Amino acid sequence: MSGSISELEALSRLIKYKIIRNSWYSGTPHLGSCLSCTDILVWIYWDLLKVNHLDPKDQTRDRFLLSKGHAAPALFQVLAKKGFFSEKDLEHYGKDGSIFGEHPPTPEHLPGVEAATGSLGHGLSIGLGIALSAKLLKMGYQVFVVVGDGECNEGAVWEAAMMAASNQVENLTVVVDYNKWQATGRSNEVFQLASLREKWASFGWLTSEVDGNCIGDLKKAWSEIDSEQKPKVLIANTIKGAGIPFMEDDNNWHYRIPTYDEVLSCADILSITKEEIAITEIMRQGRK
């Protein structure tokens, strides 16, 4: 299941390209938010998570919840690449009647999705309920939740943090996608988030701080804490729009949709194959 770091990096670049192309094709926003956590998703899905696309409801599977549901375009590309549904299905993205929108639908509507997130501050609590269930059902699965830094404005995140610590829920791991932005401004200015790591530590969690856009760094940090019997949080320092210099740390890309020429620039930046670019050209012809 696990690939080398360079293989995972190449996979992450390809998925980033597909997210960008999809944003252009379907007019779906939140590109910056998707790109900041794509490396994290690739690392979790290809290096950690035990899931089986042929049996998506397998009781023993590990669970992943994208609590920052507005990064669903990234999750959909990951799930398609994992085989939960066809990549072809994603061509209907955002069209009338499609299941693929700006947020994950319910698990009943789309295999591979664990919870219908999108309203911020729910996913960690749901993940906590799933992690607690493992204890009651005497199962050994792990639960991973990606939370946004802006999402940490929500009080329910901290309700869950306290309850997880008091129950010593050691099979629960949070990755905070700390890209330093939320919709309207810097996340440290809208709300006093700093020092985020110390906040989680004071809530009783085992903490680690990493470069969240470096898969090697994520792997290394995880190997140092994965056996600890406490709820764990990785404060993943990320860049909104990571991987595309003209998008990086520019909050306009929270809502902006790329042009076709910008998609082609991204293909160049991400070293995308000619075959994949040819598909983009076909999509453009079909879109006219």
- Tokens 């790329």 locate to 258
136 binds another protein (CB under 8 A): yes
The contact mask relative to another protein for 6-45 (x = CB under 8 A, - = no) is ----------------------------------------
Is residue 163 close enough to count as binding another protein by CB under 8 A?
A: yes
Least Å distance, CB 126 to another protein, is 4
Omega before residue 195 within 30° of 0, cis: yes
Work out how close the CB of 191 gets to another protein at its nearest, in angstroms, rounded to a whole number: 18
Q: Tell me if 118 sits within 8 A of 104, measured CB to CB.
A: yes
SS3 278: helix
Residue among 3, 94, 107, 111 that touches another protein (CB under 8 A) = 107
Smallest CA-to-CA distance from 233 within 217, 221, 241, 216 is with: 221
Residue type, 23: S
How far apart, in whole angstroms, are the C-alpha atoms of residue 119 and residue 158? 16
CB-nearer residue toward another protein: 46 or 141: 141
Among 35, 128, 215, 267, binds another protein (CB under 8 A): 128
- 207 forms bridges with which residues in the sheet? 233
Angle between helices 155-166 and 123-136 (to 10 degrees): 20
Q: Could you say which of 41, 116, 146, 233 contacts another protein (CB under 8 A)?
A: 116
**x/- letters, 87..106, toward another protein (CB under 8 A):** -------------------x
Give the angle subtended at the CA of 80 by the CAs of 85 and 278, to the nearest 5°.
115
Q: Which stretch binds another protein (CB under 8 A): 14-22, 116-124, 242-250, 258-266?
A: 116-124
Is there binding between residue 47 and another protein (CB under 8 A)?
no
Residue 159 found at the interface with another protein (CB under 8 A): yes
- Contact yes or no for 59/22 (Cβ under 8 A): no
Chain residues binding another protein by CB under 8 A are 59, 106-108, 114-116, 118-119, 121-122, 125-137, 155-156, 159-160, 162-163, 166-167
